Amino acid sequence: MQLNNSHISFIREDLERRGLVADDLLDELVDHFCEKVGERMDGGIRFFEAYQWALDDFGAERTVRMVQEENIRITQQPKNMLRNYFLIAWRNIKKQKFYSFINIFGLAVGIAASMLISLYVINELQYDNFHVKGDRIYRITSDIHFGENDFNFAVAPAPMAAALIQDFPEIENVVRFRSYGSNLIRPIDENSNIKVDRLVYSDSTFFDIFSFSLLQGNPETALSGTNKAIISRSTAERLYGTIDVLGKQVFINGSFQAEISGVYENMPANSHLQFDTMVSMETLQESFNTIWLSNNFYTYLLLQEGADPEALEAKFPDMVERYIGPQVKQFTGQDFEEAKQSGAKIEFILQPLTEIYLKSNFTFDIGQTGDIQVVYIFSAIALLIIVLACINFMNLSTARSATRAKEVGIRKVLGSVRPHLIRQFLTESILLTAISFLIALGLASLFLPWFNRIAQKSLTLPFDDPAFYIISIGGILLLGSGAGLYPSLFLSAFRPVQVLKGKILNSRSGTPVRSTLVVFQFVITIVLLLGTAAVYKQLDYIQSKKLGFDKEQVLIVRDAYMLGNDTDVYKNRMLASANVRDATLSGYLPIEKSNRSDMSFWEEGKSADEENMVNSQVWQVDHSYIPTLGMNIVEGRNFSVDFPSDSSAVILNERAVQAFNLNDPVGSRIVTLGMNPENNEIIPDETITFTVIGVVEDFHFNNMHQAISPLMFQLGRNEGYLSFRFNSENAGDVITLAEKEWNTLNPGTPFSYTFLSDEFATMYTNEKRLGQVFSIFAGLAILIGCLGLFGLATYLAEQRTKEIGIRKVLGASNEKIIVLLSRDFGRLIIVAILISIPLAWYMIREWLVSFEYKTKVGWEIYAAVALVAMLIAGISILYQSIKAALSNPAEIIRNE
Amino acid sequence: MHDKELVRGTLQTIILQLLKNNGEMYGYEISQKVKELSDGKILVTEGALYPALHKLESEGWLTIRKEKNGKRVRKYYSLTDVGYVTVSEKIETFRAFINTMYSVLEINAV
């Protein structure tokens, strides 16, 4: 006779309870007993008696356990042990396809995400590691406080390099870089210029310090002398199509000629120095400047072997006294000592080469910098995600692998069986982890191109690095045994905490450790969600904040100086179009890649000392600047052609008025030192006086991390950019016209343009990227969390079918059942919410602190996220709860 | 030799021979067949059968095939090539042993 399912289940559970816990053997004996009992029942005996007889005939419980011990002893014979464990593990995984799938998928996603992040982090940590003398290379940075101003620069005074080499024998060599933004180059006998964004002037000692390879030319002499230039491989190919270009002549910026004295290999991607062209420093007049009060030159030095950077740094204050002190007196009339006493500070600090990329936080820098904070955050996220995935793994494994009957049975078996169970379970975990790992590799490869796009890198999976395989295998073993350890110990009845508390093991969701894991999982998810919301809110705030100027509909044409005498012609032709409303010529714009220049001023009649000096931005603009950019004059007036005296007039921003302490700004006069425009040298004993004719509303010209500082406009001809305000509907037409006119007037130079709004947006790429990354990982965390929660809920609902059936028979309504099943989880989610809200609030506040201008993350955000979390959990659980609640109680009971 | 020892030594031979003559069989089927062939006399306890089957499998003389049948999983045993060879050896060994015993005991075959 064929036994029905409830008979079979009964036999199975009874055997489990009696100590038959090895899965494979259990199946075989269940089948055996089914046959035996079936035959007996054919003789008319009822099930229970038939089973009782069959068990006795077999040899009772004792024999069952003996068979199991024999079986385990055979399994553990060394020659087949690994294979046996492996086969059973594989079989078990297949047996529970649903849970195995959830486990594997969740873990795979977690591993893949962590893999990608690790690649990124490792890449960020390996900048500048290829320089042979790298551990002896340092950069001079400055920490200056003078008057109202704080400066943190990565640049030093022009004459400092020479003084360093002369005064300090522990310095072996020194090199300076001076960059001037974007440049144009053409071969002498051609008319077309190419744009070179990364051009620097460099001292001849460059190759003695840094390890870059010169493909053509002599590293000793390539940068010595005037008017010599070395170019990168890609620049050479852009200009000539070949790298065999030694000795050729080029014309730079339409203003001077240089001989190509070398071609160097493109600088590797993991170098913070990225130059396309390098011109010999002696070509630059400014490099002979002897003023110590202005800082424009990046200065790197190479220490002697064994020299102590700290000892050297300790000698710098002395150097400051010797060289800068007298110049302070010379230019401001104040004694350096006095200035220091009123709080002035000029300090130079050595920055090791290895720290430059990640730990530079200066107002501007020589190239791209990363951010060590981002590296920390990313590493933390990678770790979190792995932890999340492991938590899921543990939870699910624990839940599904122990039925109540089996738990009872485990407590009965001899010592030899428990190690077997542990080994069995660990094998399963490691196998699952290995499979997940392989899938993760696939996922990572799939998403790598897209990740590279977001992270702006070109990362690859290091398949040819043996270390990769070693770490992977180690990782699989570690992860597999770690994730499988808790469940295996749990399975093998090792529960000291429970025992101490006198608790009885049960598979309800109230198990303390499992509950903690669920809470932890949700805390991570909620915090990530809140973090994402905060970043996006701040981004939104930045985008829509009143800037003090109108960034929309302004076309910026670059390299206007190349138009030479035709600049005004071009401008007027553009203005003639109906689409163009206003135009202005100035290289000073409220975007990052434009001119900045500062000078110190004091109010006429006051003494030029620490207290009264105000350092202010000085922007050279024309009459139409303020209207073109949509700025607001709040007092006084704009520059006007009707007033020739405006040539010595300035317009201050509100912050400057504040800094000068002017009660009635219009009409005030301010004074500064005379300056030689050719080499930016200050002329002592000469002063210039300006009259304030107007005040402009404060506008943002730095990113929102920094406060608006004092700024003034002066009339002057600065030919960096031509900016046009146009009507919105015809952007395309405006660009076309601009290009056409440009090519007519200046065919040799590529037409290059951008929009003010786009440039503005690029100031916040870091934050945007952060927002994207956060949302991706929040999404991932939710995915992994939901998977886990869903699997867990499924399993627990199945477990409680009998209980549910009984409750329904006793009269419980469907709603009550649903509430019952959801209640346990609901409580956990509430706890998670209560923990994560203060945590997230604190972290968000810390991040926003770095912004001078920030949004508020109000309670409605927290409430919304809490709701979302509950929704997510709810959906995961509810489906199962409802399904269980709607099941037919009669069927369930009958099956018992 | 103890009774049990005697049976255990021959149990492997019994199983191998049965599988040779009947092809694939599962545990319960084997125990029933032995009962039938030995006329209901208790020769093989089920408790001894399964360890013997598992040992033979781990030695490589038997191979298994599992068949799912609803909630039950049936495990079928059959001879491997090596096992096939071993059967004849074992039968021969047994025959030789019986003959030797007859000589030693100075009794005739019954």
Tally of CB atoms within 10 A around A260: 24
pLDDT at A506 over 60: no
User: Tens digit of pLDDT for each residue in A334-370?
Assistant: 788 888 887 788 899 999 999 999 888 787 788 877 7
pLDDT at A499 over 50: no
Per-residue tokens: A326: 């007298």
- Percent with pLDDT over 70 in chain A: 92
User: Tens digit of pLDDT for each residue in A725-747?
Assistant: 998 777 888 888 888 888 888 87
User: Tens digit of pLDDT for each residue in A699-717?
Assistant: 988 777 778 888 999 998 8
The pLDDT score that the predictor gives to residue B10 is 80
C-alpha to C-alpha distance for A7 and A3, rounded to whole angstroms = 6
Largest CA distance in chain A: 125
Residue A492's pLDDT band (cuts 50, 70, 90): low
User: Tens digit of pLDDT for each residue in A841-857?
Assistant: 888 888 888 777 888 88
Residue A17's pLDDT band (cuts 50, 70, 90): confident
In sequence order, what are the beta bridge partners of A263?
A: A216, A231
CB-count exposure of residue B66 (10 Å: 0-12, 13-18, 19+): middle
The pLDDT score that the predictor gives to residue B2 is 36
pLDDT at A432 over 70: yes
Candidates A6, A24, A32, A80, partner chain B, best to mutate (most B CBs within 10 A): A32
The pLDDT score that the predictor gives to residue A491 is 61
The number of C-alpha atoms within 13 Å of A7 and in the hemisphere containing its C-beta is: 21
The pLDDT score that the predictor gives to residue A750 is 78
Q: What average pLDDT does range A750-773 have in this prediction?
A: 81
Task: Enter the DSSP assignment of A778.
Answer: H
The pLDDT score that the predictor gives to residue B5 is 61
Q: What average pLDDT does range A163-177 have in this prediction?
A: 95
User: Tens digit of pLDDT for each residue in A49-103?
Assistant: 999 999 998 988 889 988 998 888 887 777 778 888 888 888 888 888 888 888 8
C-alpha to C-alpha distance for A18 and A410, rounded to whole angstroms = 9
C-alpha to C-alpha distance for B66 and A630, rounded to whole angstroms = 82
Q: What average pLDDT does range A754-764 have in this prediction?
A: 84
pLDDT at A488 over 50: yes
Which residue would you say has higher pLDDT here, A880 or A546? Answer: A546
C-alpha to C-alpha distance for A478 and B96, rounded to whole angstroms = 56
Are A371 and A358 in contact by the 8 Å Cβ rule? The answer is yes
Contacts of B47 in chain A (CB under 8 A): 58-59, 63, 66-67
Query: In terms of Cα–Cα distance, which of A467, A468, A419, A422 is closest to A441?
Result: A468
Residue A891's pLDDT band (cuts 50, 70, 90): low
Q: Which of residues 50-109 of B touch A (CB under 8 A)?
A: 50-51, 54-55, 58, 70-75
C-alpha to C-alpha distance for A300 and A175, rounded to whole angstroms = 5
pLDDT at A887 over 70: no
User: Tens digit of pLDDT for each residue in A292-336?
Assistant: 877 889 999 999 999 999 999 999 999 999 998 888 887 767 788
The pLDDT score that the predictor gives to residue A829 is 83
C-alpha to C-alpha distance for B32 and A18, rounded to whole angstroms = 25
Closest Cβ–Cβ partner in B28, B51, B74 for A36: B28
- The pTM of this model reads 0.75
Residue A799's pLDDT band (cuts 50, 70, 90): low
Q: What average pLDDT does range A561-566 have in this prediction?
A: 80
The pLDDT score that the predictor gives to residue A822 is 75
Does residue A358 come out as left (phi exceeding 0), alpha (psi in the -120 to 50 range) or beta?
alpha
Our CA angle for A138, A141, A143, nearest 5°, is 150
pLDDT at A758 over 50: yes
B22 to chain A, closest Cα gap in Å: 19
C-alpha to C-alpha distance for A556 and A570, rounded to whole angstroms = 13
User: Tens digit of pLDDT for each residue in A565-619?
Assistant: 888 889 998 888 888 889 999 988 888 777 777 777 888 888 777 778 888 888 9
The pLDDT score that the predictor gives to residue A678 is 60
Contacts of B58 in chain A (CB under 8 A): 74-75, 77, 80
The pLDDT score that the predictor gives to residue B8 is 65
Chain B interface includes A42 (CB < 8 A): no
The verdict on a CB contact (< 8 Å) between A8 and B72 is yes
Closest Cβ–Cβ partner in B28, B51, B71 for A35: B28
C-alpha to C-alpha distance for A671 and A689, rounded to whole angstroms = 4
User: Tens digit of pLDDT for each residue in A138-148?
Assistant: 999 999 887 66
Per DSSP, the residues of A792-833 read HHHHHHHHTHHHHHHHHHTT--HHHHHHHHHHHHHHHHHHHH
Q: What average pLDDT does range A172-201 have in this prediction?
A: 88
Contacts of A58 in chain B (CB under 8 A): 46-47
The pLDDT score that the predictor gives to residue A496 is 43
Query: In terms of Cα–Cα distance, which of A266, A260, A457 is closest to A357?
Result: A457
The pLDDT score that the predictor gives to residue A200 is 93
User: Tens digit of pLDDT for each residue in A443-469?
Assistant: 999 999 988 888 778 888 888 888 889
Q: What average pLDDT does range A112-130 have in this prediction?
A: 91
Contacts of A57 in chain B (CB under 8 A): 46
**Beta-carbon contacts of residue A586 (< 8 Å; ≥ 6 apart):** A619, A620, A621, A622, A625, A718, A720, A721, A723
* Block residue for tokens 């009992």: A37
Mean pLDDT, 10 residues at a time, chain B of 110 residues: 59 90 92 82 78 90 90 92 89 87 81
Q: Give chain A's mean pLDDT.
A: 84
A476 to chain B, closest Cα gap in Å: 29
CB pairs under 8 A between A and B: 57
The pLDDT score that the predictor gives to residue A869 is 80
The pLDDT score that the predictor gives to residue A654 is 93
Q: What average pLDDT does range A273-285 have in this prediction?
A: 93
Per-residue tokens: A674: 């005379």
Which residue would you say has higher pLDDT here, B94 or A257? Answer: A257
Which residue would you say has higher pLDDT here, A203 or A519? Answer: A203
The verdict on a CB contact (< 8 Å) between A71 and B51 is yes
pLDDT at A871 over 90: no
The number of C-alpha atoms within 13 Å of B33 and in the hemisphere containing its C-beta is: 17
Residue A176's pLDDT band (cuts 50, 70, 90): very high
Contacts of B28 in chain A (CB under 8 A): 31-32, 35-36
pLDDT at A815 over 80: no
Alpha helices in chain B (DSSP H): 3-22, 27-37, 46-59, 81-105
pLDDT at A503 over 50: no
pLDDT at A210 over 80: yes
pLDDT at A501 over 50: no
pLDDT at A248 over 90: yes
User: Tens digit of pLDDT for each residue in A624-652?
Assistant: 999 999 999 999 999 999 988 888 999 99
Tally of CB atoms within 10 A around A820: 17
